[in-house]
Amino acid sequence: MLRSKRKMRRRNILSMPEVSLTPLIDTALTLLIIFMITAPMMQNAIKVTLPKGQAKEVDDHIKKCVVSLDKDGKIYFGDGSTPMELDQVVASIQRRVGSRSDETVFVEADKLVTYEKVIDVVDKIKVVGGVKYVALATKG
C-alpha cells in the first residue's frame, strides 16, 4: 500500500497540468473582430444631414477637428456623443490645436440649422488661436 501511494505522489508531481490558450485566443480574436466592425459605426454617431455642394475640398479621413450641429441646433465636438455649449467647444478646440498655427476646423451643420446659428459658431471658432481655416462641410 505504501508503494502505491509513493507512485501516485510521483505521478502527480511529474505530470503538470497544461493551460490551454486556445479559448483565450479565440475570445481575443472575436473581440477584435467585433471592435473592427463597430468602430466605423461609432464615428457616425451624430446625425447630420449635410447640404449638397459641387466641390469636395478634402477627403473625409483628413478631417481631424470637426464641429457638428444637428437639426436641433445642438453642438458636438469631434466624435463626442454628448452636446456641448459653444464655449466648451471653443475651449476643446484650443486644447486640441495647442501651439500649432495651421489647423483647419470643419463645421458640419445640418441643413435645417439656421444660418445665424452656423455663423455664430464659425465666428467663435475663427478667433481661436491656432485655427487657420474654418471650412463648412457639404455632402458631395
More confident residue, 41 or 3: 41
Identify whether residues 77 and 103 lie together within a single domain: yes
Identify whether residues 69 and 115 lie together within a single domain: yes
With respect to residue 97, please indicate whether it lies within any of the assigned structural domains.
yes
Alpha helices in 15-137 (DSSP H): 22-43, 86-97, 115-126
- Residue 102 φ/ψ, nearest 5 degrees: -130, 25
- On whether the pTM is more than 0.85, the answer is no
| Tally of CB atoms within 10 A around 36 | 9
**For the chain, how many structural domains are there in total?**
2
Domain CATH code at residue 86: 3.30.420.270
With respect to residue 24, please indicate whether it lies within any of the assigned structural domains.
yes
Identify whether residues 131 and 74 lie together within a single domain: yes
Q: Across residues 57-75, what is the average pLDDT?
A: 76
> Can you say how many angstroms the Cα of residue 20 is from the centroid of all Cα atoms in its chain?
35
Identify whether residues 93 and 132 lie together within a single domain: yes
Identify whether residues 23 and 65 lie together within a single domain: no
